[in-house]
Amino acid sequence: MAPHTSRPRIGVSWLPAEGAAAHACVRAVRDAAGEPVPLLIEVDSWTESLPGLDGLLLTGGNAIDPRRYGEENHGLCRVVIPRRDALEQEAFDHCLRQGKPVLGVCRGMQFLNVALGGAMLQDLPITVVEHEQVGERSRFHSVDVLPGTRLATLVHVEGPLRVNSRHHQGLRAAHVAPGLRVTALAADGVVEGLEAADGRFLMGVQFHPELPGEVPEAAPIFDLLVARAQDR
């Protein structure tokens, strides 16, 4: 396929119309020379928007409905929005069929894992690592970036990387979907990064590279998302 002559269009999921332009993920796509396309929460379908997208960014936010990974909600999933799950599944499936790149951030990483048949923990125990934010502020901890992964290439690190953390759910290696491989781990075994094992640009990180200055090493993740969308 011939290269695009315009900025590649990256769908950014589940944003309110008011304030969408200022959302950190929208800014990150724009800074990477992409054209962010907010996929808004106020609509019942994204069907008309999906064909015009060149890539997809699944954002953070509320809990995934546990029924999507075969469990009941034990009261630990504080806010569940089934309509969001359905819309993001539709967008994810479209991009998978069309070979469009997908990046998931925090909940977005969890969602792409569940969408491919993986599972997760509804609530993480507090062990040697505390993952949940303090009010509106991120926590910070180290993760081990695994050698030979796309994440290691992008952040120029094999080994410890300091990341931000704003989640109380997560997954461990046993929960990872077929076709995905782990790219980063916290000290308590919580998965902090995933990517497609077959080389496609299907990638997720549990931390938030879109937040200015918090994980500056990870900014190239958005550059590669836009570049892969450009190359389609």
Q: What are the pLDDT digits (tens) for 181-193?
A: 999 999 989 999 9
Residue segments in the chain with a per-residue pLDDT below the cut of 70: 1-5, 128
Going by C-alpha positions, the residue among 199, 206, 201 that lies closest to residue 223 is: 201
The residue from 88, 192, 195, 210 that is catalytic is 210
pTM of the model as a whole: 0.94
Phi, psi at 205, each rounded to 5°: -130, 140
The residue from 106, 141, 192, 214 that is catalytic is 106
95 is catalytic: no
106 is catalytic: yes
pLDDT value for 5: 54
Distance CA 33, CA 149 (A): 24
pLDDT value for 133: 78
pLDDT value for 163: 95
210 is catalytic: yes
State which amino acid sits at residue 154.
L
* 3-state DSSP helix/strand/coil % of the chain, to nearest 5: 30, 25, 45
At 85, which helix (H) or strand (E)? helix 82-98
pLDDT value for 128: 62
pLDDT value for 115: 98
